[in-house]
Amino acid sequence: MKARLIYNPTSGKEILKKNLADILNVMEQAGYESSAYATTPEPFSAKKEAERCALAGFDLLVAAGGDGTINEVINGIAPLENRPKLGIIPGGTTNDFARALHIPRDNVVKAAEVMLKNQTIKSDIGKAGDTYFMNIAAGGNLTELTYEVPSQLKSVFGYLAYLVKGAEMLPRVKPINMKLVYDEGEYIGKASMFFLGLTNSIGGFEQIAPDAQLDDGKFSLIIVKTANILEIMHLIGLMMNGGKHVNDNRLIYTKTSKLYAESLDEDFRMMINLDGEYGGDAPMTFENLKQHIEIYANLDEIPDSAVSGDMEEASDYFIKELEQLTSEDIDGDGVISGDK
């Protein structure tokens, strides 16, 4: 059996490049005759190599890098009738897809060793027009956050960059008149964003779509109806506190296998976010491709690093600040932070 490692040589302070020999050795131990390809600055370098290898009959592709590299590899093979298995070695900032697959994110060699367990899952993949995504699709004013966080800030501070930048942007969030058609009905009205999730890990947060499954053929659809700053912050606090936002009447939370989205405001260009990058403009149709790609995953063990200490600390801090601001007991501990 043949395998190709497609890796980003600049990802994670060149950590993949430094461990290349050890990663290839693990792939050989897993039973694959293995070789490597380093991505280049050329647009869609990883995507083109993934497609070439799939058409050449490779049995396994291992995508190593950040979510962007993994997304490209998936886009290279998803349109094909015969798709090789996929391995994931995270080397980026948030590594949402690896987090959802329970793959270690703090050691690239240990991530590769997941393949030695020979455990795979046939994972759903999203399709938006002619583009494929593995984690999220979103539209609306709130999604502009992703585009405005500088890449350098993402790499240094990870998800905290989103939190900080999001606080800056909240005063600019305006509701948009949207038409959203999904399995159980349609929503026509004002909303600050819609969100489609394939996994339970978005931007480092694991509670946005807490009951998401990788292989059920369904997106988790969230429609945030409010654009009020305090209400949005309150919803974020509920999300951080065990995913309690899903029952709030200021949003719609449902499951759907497809979605049609368009803006009803003629003067508003609704850009679509696919896995953190610009993916075109609405109107757009989204489809869940059930169990489309077979991927190596750590099915019987969630690593200790799945939720980092920094994440928990930041969540606690945010909730305490929010309680002082709103005088509400967000975390349900019977105490409002700041009360004496």
Beta-carbon neighbour count of residue 126 at 10 Å? 26
* Residue 117: how many other CB atoms lie within 10 Å: 14
Bridge partners of residue 263, in order along the sequence: 178
**Which residues, in sequence order, are CB contacts of 248 under 8 Å at separation 6+?**
235, 238
Which tokens go with 145? 């956050």
Q: Please enumerate in sequence order all residues whose Cβ is within 8 A of that of 21, keeping only pairs 6 or more positions apart, or say none.
A: none
State the virtual CA torsion across 36, 42, 46, 50 in degrees, nearest 10. Answer: -90
Phi, psi (deg, nearest 5) at residue 269: -90, 110
- Active-site hit among 277, 287, 294, 321: 277
Q: What are phi and psi of 251, to 5 degrees?
A: -145, 165
Query: Hunting for tokens 């030695």 — which residue is that?
Result: 116
Active site annotation includes 33:
no
Could you tell me how far CA 93 lies from the centroid of its own chain? 11
- Based on its alpha-carbon atoms, the radius of gyration of the chain, rounded to whole angstroms, reads 20
- The secondary structure of residue 255, as a DSSP letter, is E
- Work out the number of other CB atoms within 10 angstroms of the CB of residue 195: 23
Catalytic residue list = 277
